[in-house]
Amino acid sequence: MLTLLNEYKHFNGAHRRYRHFSQSNQCDMIFAIYLPPRALSGSRVPVLYWLSGLTCTDENFATKAGAQRYAAEHGIAIVMPDTSPRGDDVPNQNAINIGHGAGFYVNATQEPWAKNYHMYDYIVNELPDLIEQNFPVNQTRSIAGHSMGGHGALQIAIKNPERYQSVSAFAPIVSPSDSAWGQAAFREYLGKDTAAWKTYDSVTLLREAETLLPCKIDQGTADEFYPRELQPEKLAQVAAERGFALELNMREGYDHSYYFVSTFIGEHIAFHAKYLAVLQKV
């Protein structure tokens, strides 16, 4: 069951926030969906799933990125999930990269996280099922994200190319196994055995992948977490070795913030629109 929390008219479409019980995460979750004008006038539209970074809720991207203007123009819905399970009964830790706001888009296997922290299943299966049953959308999907969310979008797209048309990321953690944030989180959620970590590591996954969806990455050169936590060149190098097309744009002087994301989000929405539109006409 979906409970509507807020609704705002936005660029002639609708921005809505809902709460629902998540089977994957065994707690209430909040997500937002932006429905473009075309969806409100009877068409089923394709969907871009946006995965946010550490410390975010559904609201950071919704209020700071300015994506809805472009989604309205291209006739694309955007789904904005939270970045972790939350609530008094959901384990947490006093760290920006573990616990609430830091689900890392994995299925945790270790205690105390294993009951609730199943963000991978939630994003790949549960949420799309819910969205496709309850909103005027079709099953044509793309996925994008920022930082921890860029890691989420890339590893999900690499493992599930049949479920998406395209993938893009801003300042993604492409190799969490080789970043301090990712290592600390994976040790908690997945345990000490790094073989389990590799199943969520985009650089490792791409070495073995059969295909790569159309892929666009933007990275600011003045990002305070680059290159320590973020090494987009590593993914670009594997893509080149494997003969996969990957567009990596180094953006001179931009940092890690939503000032950076909002500057280039229009290009990312237009990029996804090219691939989503193909199936929209079928």
Ligand X SMILES: N[C@@H](CCC(=O)N[C@@H](CS)C(=O)NCC(=O)O)C(=O)O
What does the binding site for ligand X look like in residue numbers (CB under 6 A)? Answer: 53-56, 60, 64, 96, 146-148, 256-258
Q: Identify the CA nearest to 157 among candidates 165, 147, 181, 80.
A: 165
Active-site residue, selected from the candidate residues 147, 168, 175, 202: 147
Exactly one of 10, 74, 146, 256 is catalytic; name it: 256
Phi, psi of 175 (to 5 degrees): -135, 75
CB of 119 to ligand X, least distance (A): 15
Instruction: Respond yes or no: is residue 268 known to be catalytic.
Output: no
- What does the DSSP assignment read for 42-76? T--EEEEEEE--TT--THHHHHHT--HHHHHHHT-
Active site residue 146: no
- Spell out a b/e string for 38-58, using b for 16 or more CB atoms within 10 Å of the CB, else e: bbeeeebbbbbbbbbbbebbb
DSSP state, residue 118: B
Q: At closest approach, how far in Å is the CB of 104 from ligand X? A: 11
Nearer to ligand X, 36 or 53 (CB): 53
Q: Residue 171 CB, nearest distance to ligand X (Å)?
A: 8
Distance CA 188, CA 185 (A): 5
Nearest residue to ligand X, scored by beta-carbon proximity: 53
First vs last C-alpha separation in the chain: 30
Q: 55 vs 199, which CB is nearer to ligand X? A: 55
Q: Which is nearer to ligand X, 55 or 125 (CB)?
A: 55
CB of 150 to ligand X, least distance (A): 9
74 vs 146, which CB is nearer to ligand X?
Answer: 146
Q: How far is CA 72 from the centre of its chain?
A: 20
Half-sphere exposure of 196 (CA within 13 A, CB side): 16
Catalytic residue among 10, 179, 223, 272: 223
Give the span between the Cα atoms of 223 and 37, in whole angstroms. Answer: 35
| Annotation marks residue 218 as catalytic | no
Q: Which is nearer to ligand X, 84 or 147 (CB)?
A: 147
Q: How far is the CB of 34 from ligand X (least distance, A)?
A: 17
Both tokens assigned to 95: 């760290």
Residues that are catalytic: 147, 223, 256
